[in-house]
Amino acid sequence: MTRQKLLQTDSIQELADFWDTHDLTDFDDELEEVSEPVFARPTTVTVRLEPDESRIVKELARSRGISHAQLITQWIVERIHASPRP
C-alpha cells in the first residue's frame, strides 16, 4: 500500500475536504510547527462618513452592482497603486 502525502494547497476548501477524509496522526512524520500564521486574513478598517457621504457612496456602489464596502476597497487599492512608494 502506498502512503499518501499531505495535500499541498492554499485552498481552504480543498484542505477541509482532505481533512474530512484523513486522520492527522497518519502524517506525524510530515508535520512541523510554525510560528507565523499560515493564512493571511484581511484587516478590517472603519471609515466614518457623514450621512450624505455614506448615501452617495451606497448609490454609486449600487449603480455599479457592488456593495459599498467593495467600492470603498476599490478606491483605496487604486489610490495605493497610484501613490509613489517611499
- 28: pLDDT strictly greater than 90: no
pTM of the model: 0.55
Please compute the mean of the pLDDT values over residues 23-35 and round it to a whole number.
86
Taking all residues of the chain, what is their mean pLDDT, rounded to a whole number? 90
In the prediction, which pLDDT does 45 show?
92
In the prediction, which pLDDT does 3 show?
66
**How many CB atoms lie under 10 A from the CB of residue 83?**
8
- Tell me the H-state helices in the chain: 12-20, 51-64, 68-82
Please compute the mean of the pLDDT values over residues 48-74 and round it to a whole number.
97
Using only the alpha carbons of the chain, give its radius of gyration.
Answer: 22
Q: Which residue has the higher pLDDT, 17 or 37?
A: 17
The dihedral built from the CA positions of residue 27, 35, 43 and 64, taken in this order, carries a sign that is: negative
Cβ pair 38, 31 in contact under 8 A: no
In the prediction, which pLDDT does 29 show?
84
Name the one residue in this structure whose C-alpha cell is 499560515: 38
